[in-house]
Amino acid sequence: MNHRYYRQQLSALHDGELSSDEESVMKDHLVRCEECAALLKTWRLIGSGVRSLEEIQLPAGFSRRVLETVREDEEETSFWMPVEALARKTVFGLSLAVIVLVAFLLATEPQQPVIMESYLSGEVPEGNTPVSLLQRESISKNDILLAVAQK
């Protein structure tokens, strides 16, 4: 057994909670270990000091006031529990909505305008500048046919 086990058993020995076999093992250890023996002696001194104190008389109604205070705290807590639960659900829902929105925005990239060569737009270009289809509201079949015919 390791030293930690013996230190844990000191409290049980002090309180008389060990079986006779466990008690004899602990006493053998205390003979060999000065640190544990000193700790047990300190606990015994503290215990005897506490037992030598005179008993304190509590004021009349002390127990009743303590119980009333505890009940008031429980009532106040029980009042706010549904509000807190609703707030937690709301925060969770909003957080989830923000996460979904951010994921959606990151997953979809904005559409880049389609750049067509100037001869497909049906307009006479100035130089070799490409013309965007997005400059016009829509392009019809006639626009495409006209552009092909002019080519």
Q: End-to-end CA distance of the chain, in Å?
A: 97
User: Does the pLDDT at position 112 exceed 80?
Assistant: no
Strands (E), the chain: 115-116, 131-132
| Domain parsing of the chain, residue ranges | 3-51, 57-110, 115-150
- Cα Rg of the chain (Å, integer): 43
Q: How far apart are CA 90 and CA 27, in angstroms?
A: 60
Q: What pLDDT was estimated at residue 54?
A: 87
At residue 41 the predicted structure's pLDDT band, cuts being 50, 70 and 90, is very high
**What distance lies between CA 5 and its chain's CA centroid?**
34
% of the chain at pLDDT higher than 70: 77
User: Does the pLDDT at position 101 exceed 90?
Assistant: yes
Question: SS3 of 57, please?
Answer: coil
Please state, as a whole number, how many other Cβ atoms lie within 10 Å of the Cβ of residue 6: 19
Q: How far apart are CA 40 and CA 11, in angstroms?
A: 8
The phi, psi pair for 45, rounded to 5°, reads -65, -40
Q: Find the mean pLDDT for residues 129-140.
A: 55
> Which residue has tokens 């029980």?
78
